[in-house]
Amino acid sequence: MIRNQQALRNVVRRYATATGPQARASVPNYELFNQRLTKARSTILENKPLTLAQKILYAHLHDVSSMTSAPVPGESYLKLSPDRVAMQDASAQMAILQFMLSGMKQTAVPTSIHCDHLVEAYEGADLDVARSWQTSREIYEFLQAA
């Protein structure tokens, strides 16, 4: 049981934190975010106060200088440049299948997959993880091979 639990931890850790020569920097470029946000505030937002969600969106705008007015929620399309992609569960598996068909060797930005629902809290951590390893083995093996 301990061996399976350790193997499960390795699988999950492998996707959350890349290591080795293929790993890319995982620290966001905060200076670039501040530049984009400052430019957006001074040009299209008229120095209005922003919510956290707005700050995150405007910091990830691809080209603020091409925008002539502030985006209208529910109407405007934004061209964003994400610095990381986090996927979850079944939608991540579909994304992996599509990515495998693309023929690309690696993703354009760091990507992580979180499969937290595969472990059901029922009898305690050790037994739950061991049961998850048995009942979801096919999913773990697919994610490990991807």
Give me the pLDDT at residue 21, please. 53
3-class DSSP state of 37: helix
Give me the pLDDT at residue 25, please. 56
Per-residue pLDDT of the chain (146 residues; tens, 9 = 90+): 444 455 444 444 444 445 555 555 567 788 888 998 988 888 888 888 889 998 998 899 888 888 888 888 899 888 998 888 888 877 888 888 888 899 888 888 888 887 777 888 889 888 988 898 889 888 888 777 76
What CA–CA distance (Å, rounded) separates 141 from 90?
14
Sign of the dihedral defined by the CA atoms of residues 25, 8, 90, 142, in that order: positive
Give me the pLDDT at residue 12, please. 43
What CA–CA distance (Å, rounded) separates 128 from 4?
11
Give me the pLDDT at residue 87, please. 87
What CA–CA distance (Å, rounded) separates 42 from 64?
10
Give me the pLDDT at residue 52, please. 93
Beta strands per DSSP E along 34-144: 85-88, 111-114
Give me the pLDDT at residue 13, please. 41
Distance of CA 81 to the CA centre of its chain: 13
